[in-house]
Amino acid sequence: MNPEEKDLQINPVVPENVIHNTKTIADIRSLTSSIFGIAAGILGLESYSGFIFYLLGSSIVSVLMVIFIAGGKPQNYFRGTSEIWTLEVFSGSSLSSFILTWTLFFGLLRA
Amino acid sequence: MAILKFLLSYLSVHPSPLRNPSTSLHLSQQAPAFLSSSESTKDTQETWLIYEQLLLSCLRTGDDNSARLCLQRLSDRFGVDSARVKALTGLYDEATSNSRGELESVLQRYQDILKEDPTNMPIEKRRISLLLSLGRTEDAIKALTSLLSHSPNDAESWAHLSSLYFTQGLYQQSIFCLEEVLLILPNAYNIFARIGEVTYISSSTGAGSTDRTEAFEEAIKYFARSVELSEWYLRGWYGLKLVTGKLIQAKPSDGTLGKTESLNQLATEKLVQIVSKFRRNEKGWMGFDEAEVLAAKDLIDRDEQRFSQ
Amino acid sequence: MASKALISLSILLLIHSCYSAHEHSLLTPTTTSLPLDVTIETLVSVVLLCFGIVLSNREELKPISWTVWSGVLEREKGCGQFGYLDERVGFLEIRAKRAEFAKWIKGAGEGSSSQKT
């Protein structure tokens, strides 16, 4: 048995709560990322600057989540310490919903 | 507030309403209002769960009319042949029987059902508890062991068998059953604490003093694991404090006592915290059983007196 | 409650800045950059909206450590994940429970009447 497994047996985790927390974070991400898309569209950002805007916004949300939702201690709520920072930022529905609303609003306001 | 929502939130705060009489009473008082409301006809999983809880609470408090209505609707929905409904019907019959003869006939009916369908677990469990109600503990234990031989993964049955052995004074067997539960559910902290309790109790009836200190050490291990798995488990901390205290008394001069003493101190701190927060009605600390908190308070006070003397 | 107010306010701001940007693009045919006030309004509304969304999810997370979580269940509800092993509803001895309840309600009745006198 490797040390990690042993530690998990001594201090078990509650799988339902892990799923619940991940879902909460994913919900916030997908909601905020579509708002970033709207803003990027309004501001008329193009190519790289739009993605930089997205990264900037996502890190602001991460900081807010660490402070207000996790009370400064993300390790109490997530298996990995980096999860709250990176979860759903580059993968999943968040990025695609950002691009969708970005192009939509860009097209609506500039065409 | 809508009664369905009210009942759901009540059940989420009191997940086991049968544990003390006041919650059962509270729940059963809501039953007539719920049964006559329009929300009681909703066909959702939640509604049927509420029906089942109301049925149990009403049976307990003696509101047999509401209980019959709940049972009626459950059997209309799931059919009288559903194993769970059959068991609930049996429960209703048991509760409303007036004489031993009637109970015997319920028992006969259980046996008939089991002849047709020997794998009907809920009915098998009902039969066992009815045997107990009739005072036939030996038969109940026999039936329970045979149930466990064909379905050894049922933790509830192991736990129940353990408590039956315990009432018979068969502590070794009782502990064995609890260990079986731990094989199925390795994180069950209340079972760890229970093993600690049974070990401690069996030692106080047992023989020589060396055996006793060994048993104390064994019990401490189990209590310690129990509170390691649940940081506010009152029974675990209580047992830890009690048994470490006894161990310190039993062998006052020994080099290994440092650990025991620090465990005792830690348990005392936790118990003091629980008692004071419970007494101040602090939010998030009201789940404890009042009698258990009083017992903890008593234990702390006794300990303090001994030190001051 | 405060978070809901914050969300509604910032959504209004966002809609307003969206409208302004639209007007701006109609009035200036060539693609010039957005006026500063609209840019600021957009950014402020987005930041406020993020605040609102995050704050509305406060206390939403549950501790993943078994020790902590079962401790919370014990102190709030008095019944953890394995409470059913203590209760054992399948083996409920309803007759004993009924008798216990009858005794309790009698005791409670006497208790309250003796308090009155």
Sort out which chain B residues have CB atoms less than 8 A from C85's CB and list them: 155-156, 159, 181, 185, 188, 190-191
Domain extents in chain A: 17-110
Write the CB contacts of B40 (distance below 8 Å, at least 6 apart in sequence): B4, B34, B47, B73
Say if A34 is an interface residue toward chain C (CB within 8 Å): no
Report DSSP letters for C29-84, one per residue.
Answer: -S-PPPPHHHHHHHHHHHHHHHHHHHHHTTT-----BHHHHHHHHHHHHS--TTHH
pLDDT tens, residue by residue, B245-277: 888 887 766 666 788 888 888 999 999 999 998
Domain layout of chain C by residue ranges: 2-56, 79-116
- Cα B169 to Cα B202: distance, rounded to the nearest angstrom: 8
Contact assignment for C50 to A18 by CB distance below 8 Å: no
C25 and A109 Cβ atoms separated by less than 8 Å: yes
In angstroms, the CA C8 to CA A104 distance is 22
Q: Tell me the per-residue pLDDT of B57-103, one tens digit each, with 9 for 90 and over.
A: 999 888 888 999 999 999 988 888 888 898 999 999 988 888 888 88
The span from the CA of C62 to the CA of C73, in Å, is 11
User: pLDDT per residue over A85-106, tens digit each?
Assistant: 877 777 778 889 999 999 999 8
**pLDDT above 80: residue B308:** no
Lowest mean pLDDT among A24-33, B18-27, B60-69: B18-27
Of A86 and A37, the one with more pLDDT: A37
Domain borders along chain B are 1-96+107-114, 187-309
- Contact call for residues C48 and C6 (beta carbons, < 8 A): yes
pLDDT of residue C114: 43
Percent of chain B with pLDDT over 90: 30
Segment C75-100, tens digit of pLDDT: 888 777 888 888 888 888 888 888 88
**pLDDT number for residue A76:** 85
Residue B145 has pLDDT above 90, yes or no: yes
Closest chain A residue to B229 measured between Cα atoms?
A: A11
Supply the ipTM of this predicted assembly.
Answer: 0.84
Alpha-carbon gap: C87 to the closest alpha carbon of chain A (Å)? 22
Specify the 3-state DSSP secondary structure of A13: strand
Between CA B244 and CA B258 the distance in angstroms is: 11
Instruction: Mention every residue, 6+ apart, whose C-beta is less than 8 A from residue C59.
Output: none
CB B295 within 8 A of CB B238: yes
What chain B residue is nearest to C102 in terms of C-alpha separation?
B61
Contacts of B31 (CB under 8 A, 6+ apart): B54, B57, B58, B63, B66, B70
